Chains A and B, each alone.
Chain A
């Protein structure tokens, strides 16, 4: 058995390597000369389902936006299937990878264009409410933090096995709130510390 390689911070200077093309699509001039390997737009031509936009800001202890974060999301397709070998169910949206990456811009904002995920099986074969796994990296984070994004307009949240492990008064930190827009916008703000500290998971 081997011991794992320790994590280290992504640091403040990752953007030219990991998110080189545009900062969040907000800064058309903010390009570096390298290519994106992972986009903040997950939508593929064959992806069925409801197109949505996710926006949010990551805040530090002083409620100041963090402008050098990298956010990664991992999600199922609209039918609740992951584009991964372990998920052996058929994939109707064969091009949909379910993985996205966004830097935060100067105002601390990140954005993803994607599809609303379907329900994924959970413990004991019981469906989980639609959710997206979120990993956050930045200067001052020696390892990524993991959280989950749930949707404010899903009544099945009340029965979600993971959400129900979270103390009721903190569940709200995991809910993205729907705003008007075409496509619909869900706002998901993350607080690293403070009264509204987001629930982070030890996975």
Chain B
């Protein structure tokens, strides 16, 4: 399968410099990025087999002696390329705050309780249909220091590998209807509304398990389109 990676697709990404998100001011490139031809170095990427994860790595509710507190949820979906073809055997990693909005990370010291039964990290490999599934608890909103009274909407961090190193994606999954959306400079760093909505999971009643867990569906689309005969590895 030959894929091309049109840079035009990147137009829905946030700009490196997004002044409302203050940390970007001193950490974003100021000189124009250089366009280079895609060589084998860009068009290949790490490959993971099913031995990269262990049974249960995708269940964040079973990593400790007891169950974490919070709303138990199923987060699932497909990893796809730009032609909607499944990306199989892709490593998907996630991390998140607990139900109170507290991360186990030692830098997060805001006054919300840690949960002794929750770390908040998981990983899985997509199946032949590009499908992945996690079981976790819904993360809480939490305060941050960007501006006065700044709060992040509920979100889960995702890290995904595709067919090449240029399709590598780190993103955040949000929950539908969050009242914090209008106030969050990170969510709004994606300036196109349709593109922003692609980071919002759908509530999925069909896959909700009665008496057990709500389900949310989150499809992730990575860069990469099927090459046409006119394309070659040296396209720009």
Chain A interfacial positions (CB closer than 8 Å to B): 1-18, 20, 32-34, 37-38, 60-62, 66, 68, 72, 74, 76, 82-87, 97-99, 120-124, 128, 131, 133, 135, 137-146, 148, 161-162, 165-166, 192-193, 197-203
Contacts and interface: CB of A to CB of B under 8 A. Distances in A.
Given A13-B103, A74-B45, A87-B44, A165 B24 contact: no
B47 A85 contact: yes
Contacts of B10: 4, 202
Contacts of A137: 170
A141 B27 contact: yes
Interface of A is mostly: loop
B43 interface: yes
Contacts of B95: 13-14, 16-18
Given A13-B97, A72-B168, A120-B39, 15 more contacts: A3-B221, A4-B9, A4-B82, A6-B171, A7-B169, A7-B171, A10-B159, A15-B105, A16-B95, A86-B163, A99-B46, A140-B25, A145-B33, A162-B39, A192-B29
A202 B9 CA distance: 12
A199 B34 contact: yes
Contacts of A197: 29-31
Contacts of B199: 5-6, 8
A143 B24 CA distance: 10
B97 to A, nearest CB: 8
Residue of B27, B43, B47, B84 with most partner-chain A CB within 10 A? B27
Interface in B34-67: 34-47, 52-53, 63
Interface of B is mostly: loop
B40 A193 contact: no
Contact of B53 (A34, A37, A201): A37
Report the 7 A-B pairs with minimum CB-CB distance, sorted nearest first. Answer: A17-B95, A140-B23, A84-B44, A17-B121, A140-B27, A99-B46, A61-B26
B14 interface: yes
B28 A13 contact: no
A16 B157 CA distance: 12
A137 B172 CA distance: 14
A123 B21 contact: no
